[in-house]
Amino acid sequence: MEDTTAPSVTKPIRCIVKLGGAAITCKNELEKINEETVDIVSSQLREAMVTGSSSRKVLGMDWSTRPGKPGISCDADDFEDRNLDSSSFIVVHGAGSFGHFQASKSGVHKGGLNKPLVKAGFVATRISVTTLNLEIVRALAREGIPSIGLSPFSCGWTTSERNMASADLSMVARAINSGFIPVLHGDAVLDDLQGCTILSGDVIIRHLAAYLKPEYVVFLTDVLGVYDRPPSEPNAVLLREIAVRDDGTWSVVKPTLADTNTQVEITVAAHDTTGGMVTKISEAALIAKLGIDVYIVKAATTHSSRALSGEVRGAIPEDWLGTVIRFGGKGNGFPTSDTQLLQSIEFYKSSSTSLKEFN
């Protein structure tokens, strides 16, 4: 039984943003941040949160030293006449090349804290993912975003047989009410039944969306969006709009697929070789079913900038590249092309391993 206290949020949440692990870290390189992408994304987030902020001097909020970087200057006077109010965003990030090695080496997702290796792996995993969290918080703060790191473990989030069991949203709500931007992440957490597991960023997003009802949700990833097959294949088609019906069935609204008998495959993002995109779409569909539009878009592009600002809400502009997943009303009960889509998802699900856990 899930135990989530409905939080009291005095400011409406405009957007929940997922920074995909594949986008913010360098694939195949252990614990390396994709600094360029993170810097651009942070800047885009600032512009989306604080209208008109692009024309003014950025007032950084990371006043700490960084090895090999110039010292941070902080002039108190700069802050005097500035209005730092921003609309309410929540940031959730995946792990990418952080945490995966530690989690998969020890099997943290499978539980068993009585095993020394799992216990050590739990510690090692949390060190790795909180290292990334701190770096993301700092990158956002350097852009003047009042970011506050919130580890799901520390917030008291737990699971029961890998499903969300308890998720206290009170600190997320209090941080928002105080004008901060909470930054959560995929984390190793305690599990009532199996001892411990990995709570993925995508599950966290869905949970936050269900309780905090943002206006829209944006998933920033390392491909343009969802394709009908791996994007490396010739003739891969970007799915621009997917409708999710209340009975859980889906259909591709745009483009109209020329041949509905073609096996529709879900693209797997470059780094998420084991099912990441499938989890993402499944979670996105559950959010869309709540009536909240979900945008899946490539990080650090003009497309991500437009999605974050909310500019593409409503009718999707022709020149915007990405996938929007929306609530499409009542299901008609007839199998359509999304049957293949779902079969494809099932296939990926069954082949997935621990590595997808964080996404």
Residues that bind a copy of itself (CB under 8 A): 30-31, 59, 61-65, 67, 74, 76, 79-80, 82-84, 98, 101-102, 105-106, 113, 115-117, 119-124, 126-128, 130-131, 134, 137-138, 141, 144, 146-151, 153-156, 158, 168, 170-171, 174-175, 178-180, 190, 195-196
Angle, helices 35-49 vs 116-142, to 10°: value is 60
- Least distance from a copy of itself to the Cβ atom of residue 74, Å: 6
Per the structure block, which two tokens stand in for 231? Answer: 């994007």
C-beta of 149 vs 328, nearer to a copy of itself: 149
- Least distance from a copy of itself to the Cβ atom of residue 151, Å: 6
C-beta of 148 vs 277, nearer to a copy of itself: 148
Q: How far is CA 167 from CA 179, 208, 265, in A?
A: 21, 9, 34
DSSP 176-227: HHTT-EEEEE-EEEEETTTEEEEE-HHHHHHHHHHHH--SEEEEEESSSSEE
- Least distance from a copy of itself to the Cβ atom of residue 186, Å: 15
Nearest Cα to Cα of residue 342 among 270, 251, 276: 251
Q: Which residues pair with 147 in a beta bridge?
A: 181
C-beta of 33 vs 345, nearer to a copy of itself: 33
C-beta of 195 vs 231, nearer to a copy of itself: 195
- Least distance from a copy of itself to the Cβ atom of residue 224, Å: 31
C-beta of 135 vs 283, nearer to a copy of itself: 135
Instruction: Name the burial class of residue 222, with classes exposed (0-12), middle (13-18) and buried (19+) by CB atoms within 10 angstroms of its CB.
Output: buried
C-beta of 119 vs 229, nearer to a copy of itself: 119
- Least distance from a copy of itself to the Cβ atom of residue 65, Å: 5
User: How many angstroms separate the CA atoms of 22 and 299, rounded?
Assistant: 10
- Least distance from a copy of itself to the Cβ atom of residue 149, Å: 6
